[in-house]
Copies of this chain bind each other. A is one copy, B any other.
Amino acid sequence: MPCTADRRCAIPADKIKMYVVIATVFLHVLSTSSLLTGPTAKQTTGIPWPMPQKIESTTETQGLSDKVFSFNVDLVPKGCEIVLDAADRYFDLIFYAGRKSKSLQPHASDFELFSSLGNAAPRKLLKEMVIKVSGECEDFPYLEMDERYEMIIDTDSASLMAASVWGILRGFETFSQLVWQSSDGQLVVNETQIQDFPRFPWRGVMLDTARHFLPLETLKLSLDAMAYNKMNVFHWHIVDDQSFPYQSRTFPDLSAKGAYDPYTHVYSQSDMMDLIEYARVRGIRVVPEFDTPGHSQSWGKGIPDLLTKCYKGGRFTGGFGPMDPSRNSTFQFMSTFLKEIVEVFPDRYLHIGGDEVSFSCWKSNPLVNTFMAKMGFGRNFAKLEGYYVKRILDAAHSYKAAAVVWQEVFQNGVAIANDTVVHVWKYRDHPSTRLAQVTRSGHRALLSANWYLSKIWFGKDWPKFYLNDPTNFNGTTEQKKLVLGGEMCMWGEFVDATNVISRCWPRACAVAERLWSASHVVNVARATPRLEEQRCRMIKRGIPAEPVNGPGHCEYEY
């Protein structure tokens, strides 16, 4: 028994993580009356998701009251508005989530607390948490941002320290998750020490707004859910064959003619500013994808002669294929368009797609064939694809953007720059072999294979996402360092505003913990009650996170 008489735990440093997690879960389960025995899913209380790198806690608790507690931001440097905004946001999440009005009091008030405790000593209330930012205030999240933080919640004081605003954001999230409601109705937090940092810097959610349009409010709800799981990249697969909702200021016809509806099913420039800002203050990068040369049918509606005309028996069929790489006008257009994109989206990274290019239309087109001959590509259309992608990469590079490409670009041997990130997605194509190849060539990689959450299975399917590790391939330590992380992908064929959030969450929590927590946090049985708590926590905060572990309930239902 590692705990001393005063109920503080003293555990050898190398055993801290395991011991404390188990002890905390066990003790919190004992201390709440809301858990039913029987065949329903159990929940922890006050255990964070994703699991911090190092967490130590005792059974000693302090109470929290909105009338007493505050975040002390005296030590936050000027210019760190992100921290001040977050302090307000997390204060509300801690004290008012699940309430329709701040004046409602589902938690026990101080008066009720004293009454219900009867003769027992009233619980000491935590007065403040001191927030310290030791480095400079940064404004925009970026790949290399520092998300490390430390937290101490002691008997007398509490503090949250980080070098950057990003670390503070992650710490706020953790603190809000440490708070739980005790059986006497009061919000409490256990004495806790945390040292935390992410295992991977790129922890993404990809949403597809082209197969079905997703309203801005839905995208914001998704950003909320990401923040609650410390995910930090919104990969926005914004356009595709089916529709072009991005309202370009340079080429307004793209959405005027290519969107499902030019007025109601588009993202205006101000919508995008709004969304990028919403993400920014949550430490979430917005990486847009403009996928070419394939997946581009909707582009052709607004821009004549951009797509390849398909031929059959020597005649134009009326159908179109990928972007036409035989015309210089195609690259002129793309260069101008990408110039706008890198201005609109502040992140350095831009996903340029490059997946699933069909060669049949190129093969049929006389001008493309002439161009192939002129370029000396023979009948190797992968070379033509490579030529196209290389010119797009060069354009992006000229605007100082770094590119992300789907794995086909790498496999087709395109000469990609060193800072190009290769996105591995084909789950039937030996993703671990691909990761090994990509990193052996010195390129950085992202994993999405086996994280296509748009695919569904009946029952408890999250463990397969949970156990999908981006470094699970044969390679050197140096190679593994080239894995930036990964993304869960939610393709839009069968989701829209009606179900996209409930289909993503809490299944995506499994991906979030894999990408944030230590590699040894892989026990599904131990994760299950924590995931249940995280699901209910998200519901309390307005995210319709669906049941994934069979029968159960949340204190606050959606």
Chain A residues at the B interface, C-beta cutoff of 8 Å: 34, 36, 38-40, 210-213, 215, 241-243, 260-261, 264-265, 297, 455-459, 492-499, 502-503, 539, 544-548, 550-555, 557-558
Contact = CB atoms under 8 A, between A and B. Distances in A.
A256 to B, nearest CB: 13
A40 B545 CA distance: 28
A258 to B, nearest CB: 9
5 contacts: A40-B242, A213-B557, A494-B546, A498-B546, A498-B558
B550 A211 contact: yes
B494 A215 contact: no
Contacts of A243: 36, 40, 551, 553
A136 B154 CA distance: 75
Contacts of A264: 555, 557
Contact of A213 (B261, B455, B503, B553): B553
A558 to B, nearest CB: 4
Contact of A39 (B241, B456, B539, B550): B241
Nearest to A550: B493
A547 B459 contact: no
Nearest to A492: B551
A300 to B, nearest CB: 10
B39 A495 contact: no
A457 B545 CA distance: 19
Contacts of A210: 551
A545 B544 CA distance: 15
A546 B215 contact: no
A215 B539 CA distance: 14
Nearest to A258: B36
Given A455-B458, A499-B499, 4 more contacts: A34-B261, A213-B553, A456-B458, A496-B558
Nearest to A454: B458
A69 to B, nearest CB: 26
A459 B457 CA distance: 11
A466 to B, nearest CB: 17
A99 to B, nearest CB: 14
Given A264-B555, A265-B553, A455-B458, A547 B212 contact: yes
Contacts of A492: 551
Contacts of A554: 496
A547 B493 contact: yes
Contacts of A455: 458
Given A40-B242, A456-B458, A553-B260, A546 B496 contact: yes
B211 A497 contact: no
Contacts of A260: 36, 40, 553
A493 B551 contact: yes
A212 B553 contact: yes
A547 B496 contact: yes
Given A215-B557, A242-B551, A455-B458, A545 B261 contact: no
Nearest to A503: B499
Closest CB pairs A-B (n = 10): A498-B544, A260-B553, A211-B551, A499-B502, A497-B558, A499-B546, A242-B551, A498-B558, A498-B502, A498-B546
Contacts of A557: 213, 215, 264-265, 496-497
A34 B243 CA distance: 13
A279 B437 CA distance: 61
Interface centre among A212, A498, A547 (most CB of B within 10 A): A498
A212 B552 contact: yes
B38 A242 contact: yes
A38 B241 contact: yes
A215 B502 CA distance: 17
A261 B557 CA distance: 11
Nearest to A260: B553
Q: In this complex, which of A492, A545, A551 has the most chain B Cβ atoms within 10 angstroms of its Cβ?
A: A551
A294 to B, nearest CB: 13
A438 to B, nearest CB: 28
B551 A212 contact: yes
Contacts of A544: 497-499
Contacts of A498: 502, 539, 544-547, 558
